[in-house]
Amino acid sequence: MLKIILKTIKEKRNLLLILRSISILVLWLYTAITPSLESQQESINELLAAFPKEFLAAFNVESFNMTSFTGVIASKQYDIVWVIMAVALAISLASGNIAGEIEKGTMQILLALPLSRKQLYFSKYIGGIIVMAIFTVLSILPGIPLAQMYGIELDNNNFYYFTLNALGFAIFIFTFTFMFSAIVSESSRATMPALGLVLISYILNLIALLKEEFTNLRYFSIFHYYSPTDTLVNGNLELNSLLLFLGFACFFLIIGFVFFRKRDFRF
């Protein structure tokens, strides 16, 4: 099992390195410009006052998060840039874990190993979770030493809380795609449902923020439960959101295993 886990991690090490590096560089950029933004807080507040409140809410823009360090990275880095990278990594990794092996013709070799299907399935999954955990930790926690480097005061616990929330989000997307990867035989067919889920969730969350009469739609969006501002700025540990992400991940994992165990592989 260990060899399968290490193989899964090794296959995505280059993509992991690239995404992690980009995330840290963007985080460094936002950290560097924070002092200048704080000095212009009054001007920025006057500018924001000219925009409709619904428009600002839709893009998670408020006066406090346009000038403070945690506000800037929450609304710009982790609400946009990080989500794109995490989703890309999770979908790429999960869709290639099983469906990709079938597509490449290497699943036959894996099935010939002295491993049960259960061991193979969970080895692939554990390897993927380790990759997502490494990416999440190394793309968020560097914000602490970067802030210290620029003399920015912050509560380290907020970063720890957000890391948990972000990891739950990443595990949810990865496991959802992994389930389809265990059901279909082409990586593209495992990718489409995950992309559809992300797109529909984004649209539902946007409509809920723009239209007050549709505010309840936010509960059907995964982005309602992924909350950089609540954790990084307000210091709220969204335990219910984390449990929701992990609970659905367990459900998807079991469904995927049921299908994988019963599949008739023909090569």
Rg (alpha carbons) of the chain, rounded to whole number: 20
Q: What is the pLDDT of residue 253?
A: 97
Other Cβ atoms within 10 Å of 36 Cβ, number: 9
Cα 175 → chain centroid: 11
- The DSSP string of 140-159 is HTTHHHHHHHTT----HHHH
pLDDT for the residue numbered 151: 83
Report pLDDT for 63. 43
Say which amino acid occupies 71.
Answer: G
Q: What is the pLDDT of residue 124?
A: 93
Give every residue of the chain whose pLDDT is below 70, as ranges.
35-67, 265-267
Please report, for the chain, the start and end positions of each structural domain, with discontinuous segments joined by +: 2-262
Residue 35 is which amino acid? P
pLDDT on residue 64: 47
Three-state DSSP class for residue 106: coil
Whether 239 and 230 have beta carbons less than 8 Å apart is answered as no
The tokens for 71 are 């506000």
Helix (H) or strand (E) holding 48: helix 41-48
**What are the Cα distances from residue 82, in Å, to 23, 127, 142, 180, 199?**
7, 21, 14, 24, 16
pTM, 2 dp: 0.87
What pLDDT does residue 140 have? Answer: 93
